[in-house]
Structure 1
Amino acid sequence: MSDSASAVSQIPFAPVAPNGSVKTSNGSAKSPHRGSIQSVDRALSLLEALAEAGGEASLTDLSRRTQLNVSTCHHLLSTLVNWGYVAKVPGRRSYALGARVLYLGHACLRQVDLPRKAQAYIDRINQVTGETVHLAVLQADTIVTLVKREARHAVRVDTGMVGRSDAPHATATGKAMIAWLPEEQIRRMVSPTDMKRFTDKTIVDFATLIEELRHVRRNGHAMDREEFQPGVICVGSAIRDHSGAVVGAISASAPAMRATEQHLDLMRQEVIAAANALSAELGEPGAMKPAVANA
């Protein structure tokens, strides 16, 4: 069993008693946390009860496990079915954990596991190019930088901090990811009427951004030419998972003084190769995983 799976399996089951209290693993009841919502507590207790039962259980079994009446269980399960977190089992009068739970699990594991998987590729880009390397992920409508490896050169660039980004339209990692998203989602992430300007080269017109993203899809990588920080050039490429969906991006950043065409070509080659290799490790269909050579 993996460390992640082991950690999950050790989470104690906490069903909700009829009075709204949470029942601990030893059977004693305790009051829910202040501010908790009873219906949410109960719905989550049903999901945990299904997990404890091995992923499938009947309505009466779930009622017994959670100490909720059958009618309440039925209504809560119907809502969870509508959301995809629970599924009715065809041919049997029982319920099972739905595909949406698997989606959340994959999203969680990506965030935990991607930096580990990316370590060798981050090291290689940093060693071969000498430049700053970033690894970012897509969490719903938010881009979050998980890793930043500083450049090996004495002259380095300010490329922002690890954490949530408010510049998906101005960074190479941001553009590399949003280029593949539905326009509706891009509009949620980047306000078409209030695009933040970081430098005099930042794209602040939505139609121009959409055209830029078309080039990103065609070229397989994104460029930030002093759009986020003055004097900083960045190359980024998207990382995909087993379903082909974009989950993150890796990038390299250099000061404009070092960003010759030859150096940018090297940065592009290394970043794209790393993104492709990470996609292969995440199971992207058809992706080829190249060997990571020692630099």
Structure 2
Amino acid sequence: MPHGSQSLSRAFQLIEVLSGFPNGCPLARLSELVELNKSTTHRILQALSAMGYVTHAGAAGSYRLTAKLVAVGQKALSSLNIIQVAAPFLETLNLETGETVNLSHWEADHTVLIYKLEPTRSVMRTHAYIGQQSALHCTAMGKLYLAHAAEGYVERYWANARIERLTEHTIVALDALHAELAQIRATGIAFDREENELGVSCIAAPVFDVKQRVEYAISTSLPTSRLAAQGQEALIGPIRLAARQISAELGG
């Protein structure tokens, strides 16, 4: 492949253009789209072909990407450490809001807290700890997992899980849960309004992976009194942004 950062940039530009032509794209059209002459475009395509990333398509003079790019992408995704990926964005969220910030993973029929940052503006701490398992129906992050679960999962969860009324605000009726899950899917935000712990509220947003699955979620937790004083809108924007940034890093 030709040397230099410009040649590398052109090669990736060609790859990105070809990704939009699964059945192949003619050389002439490719050179137009990347704004290079045919000889330069052909030279880069030959180099990519020699490395196994590009091959000739069915039509004469056309090229398409190979599955090697998929394999490389899968290796990159599998090597991602979710905490390393999410930590910078969660630290920013923590500093911006001053509140407790959480990252959880969906495992079986519960959430598992895998990362937590303590509040910067208050000495008050939540009781949550790394490794803690929580029910899905009474936590903001848990309800996100339910909202994005496969069809029929919510009913199976409800039939098999231990549905406890942890506080007077805990949802213990399936129809009420379905109504809230519909709202979560519509807004992209979930709330825990003292449903898991009296005096503590939580706002959560989903983290999407490359397959648009929700296996992780982030949230902020704070005293209900402070949430009432500042309003939830002050937190929703930063939480939503952090979740989108982490999702983008995961290909979501």
TM-score (norm 1): 0.56
Percent of residue pairs bearing the same amino acid type: 32
1:132 aligned onto 2:100: yes
- Which residue, out of 76, 79, 83, partners 1:115? 83
1:135, 1:248 within 8 Å by CA — same for their partners in 2? yes
Which ranges of structure 1 fall in alignment gaps of 5 or more residues?
A: 1-101, 285-295
**1:79-90 counterparts in 2 under 5 A?**
none
Residue 98 (structure 1) aligns with: none
**Partner of residue 231, structure 1:** 199
State whether structure 2 residue 148 is matched by structure 1 residue 180.
yes
Q: Distance in 2 between matches of 1:179 and 1:106?
A: 28
**Does the CA contact (< 8 Å) of 2:110 and 2:142 recur in 1?**
no
Distance 1:136 1:122 in 2: 12
- Where does residue 218 of structure 2 map in the other structure? 250
C-alpha separation in 1, matches of 2:109 and 2:78: 15
Pair 1:216 & 2:184 matched = yes
Map of 2:249 onto structure 1: 281
- Partner residue in 2 for 1:57: none
- Helix, strand or coil: the match of 2:170? coil
Equivalent residue, structure 2, for 1:154? 122
The aligned amino acid for 2:182 is R
Cα pair distance change 1:106/1:204, threshold 3 Å: farther
Give the Cα separation in 2 of the matches to 1:193 and 1:240: 25
CA distance in structure 2 between the aligned counterparts of 1:168 and 1:108, rounded to whole angstroms: 26
Residues 158, 229 of structure 1: 8 Å contact kept:
no
Aligned CA-pair RMSD:
2.6
**Which whole-Å CA distance do the structure 2 matches of 1:193 and 1:245 have between them?**
22
**CA distance in structure 1 between the aligned counterparts of 2:144 and 2:213, rounded to whole angstroms:** 12
Indicate conservation of the 8 Å contact 2:201/2:224, yes or no. yes
Count of aligned pairs between the two proteins: 181
Check conservation: 1:157, 1:255, Cα contact below 8 A: no
CA distance in 2, matches of 1:264, 1:253: 11
Alignment CA distance shift 1:281-1:192 (3 Å): same
Residues 145 and 162, structure 1, Cα contact 8 Å, conserved in 2 = yes
Runs (4+) of structure 1 moved beyond 4 Å? 105-110
Structure 1 residues 149-158 or 171-180, which shifts more?
149-158
CA distance in 2, matches of 1:127, 1:216: 26
Q: Does 1:203 align with 2:171?
A: yes
Contact 1:125 1:267 in 2 (8 A): no
Question: What CA distance in whole angstroms lies between the structure 2 residues aligned with 1:241 and 1:261?
Answer: 34
Q: Secondary structure at the match of 2:237?
A: helix
CA spacing shift, 1:264–1:184, aligned 2, 3 Å: same
Give 1:9-158 correspondences, 5 Å limit: 109=79, 113-158=81-126
- C-alpha deviation, 1:116, in angstroms: 0.7
- Counterpart-to-counterpart distance in 2, 1:108 and 1:190: 32
Aligned to 1:267: 235
Q: Which amino acid aligns with 2:141?
A: T
Measure the CA separation in 1 of the matches of 2:202 and 2:155: 23
Q: Distance in 2 between matches of 1:225 and 1:124?
A: 24
Paired amino acid for 2:97: T
Q: Distance in 2 between matches of 1:250 and 1:214?
A: 19
Between the two structures, name the one with larger relative contact order (CA 8 Å, sep ≥ 6). 2
Instruction: Report the secondary structure of 1:117's partner residue.
Output: helix
Deviations 1:33-54 (A, max 9, x none): xxxxxxxxxxxxxxxxxxxxxx
Mapped to 2, the partners of 1:278 and 1:159 lie a distance apart of: 25
